[in-house]
Amino acid sequence: MRKQLIAGNWKMNGTIEETKTLIDGLLAGSYDDNIADMVICPPFTALTTAGKMLQESKIAVGAQDMSVHSNGAYTAEISSGMLLTVGVSFVILGHSERRQYHAETNQLVNAKAKVAIDAGLTPIICVGETLEDRESGNTETVIGQQIDGTLSEFSADLLSKSVIAYEPVWAIGTGKTAPPEMAQEVHRFIRDRIAGIDKNAAEKIQILYGGSVKPDNAKSLLSQPDIDGALVGGAALKADDFLKIINSL
């Protein structure tokens, strides 16, 4: 049995005050960490606060991106080493908003993932098709290319230190969720594709679903056999909703 992982992607939300309030809310709640782990990914400016507040808790902290470089003349970039110093243990890579607005490629995501793992961070590697891809029947071609590209030269060992997130672009922030059976189909496709690298690692790797996950649809999605958790945007900004999602398991 794969353990579930519920990750909150706060995106560009969360002043220090808002971060404190949200984390206080999460700490006041409870969930069974035998069933699922929780990670929150606030913006860079709030990571130190989150890291300190959650140091003694079972909630992990993640970043939303990371530089492929370790230091040097890269204005505005944040390195894996810097993330480690503030208590970060996960990093979201290749989110569709990074791909869309910052031209991130599979090749760059692949390089970042290797750097992250080398530093001891767990990458949450995102893939997902656009509405156009889906409507033209290209979902599997696109997802297949993203998986092959982002996991290029991955060994079983690297796979065992990674998490995948399937986020159909058309479902992100739109309130449109993929029907559970449709999401399951893509998750199965991803797992089969990874089995081409290593069968055992494919059975063990966590594949999260993302795209308008809310308290009222979480259970039907998370109960699918190949969905091992969720990457949650909007609903991660309310402690009650986020706790309801993890407690729907």
Provide the annotated active-site residues.
Answer: 95, 167
Minimum CB separation of residue 247 from ligand PGA in Å reads 17
Residue 173 as a binder of ligand PGA (CB under 6 A): the answer is yes
123 binds ligand PGA (CB under 6 A): no
Residue 88: closest CA among 16, 39, 124: 39
211 binds ligand PGA (CB under 6 A): yes
Site string for ligand PGA, 62-101 (x = CB under 6 A): ----------------------------------------
Concatenating the DSSP letter of every residue in 176-245 gives -PPPHHHHHHHHHHHHHHHHTT-HHHHHHSEEEEESS--HHHHHHHHTSTT--EEEESGGGGSHHHHHHH
Distances in Å between the alpha carbon of 100 and those of 47, 94, 120, 129, 246?
Answer: 24, 10, 27, 12, 29
Give the x/- contact pattern for ligand PGA in 143-172, rule: CB under 6 A. ------------------------x----x
| In the complex, residue closest to ligand PGA by CB | 233
234 binds ligand PGA (CB under 6 A): yes
> In the complex, which residues of this chain contact ligand PGA (CB under 6 A)?
9, 167, 172-173, 210-213, 231-235
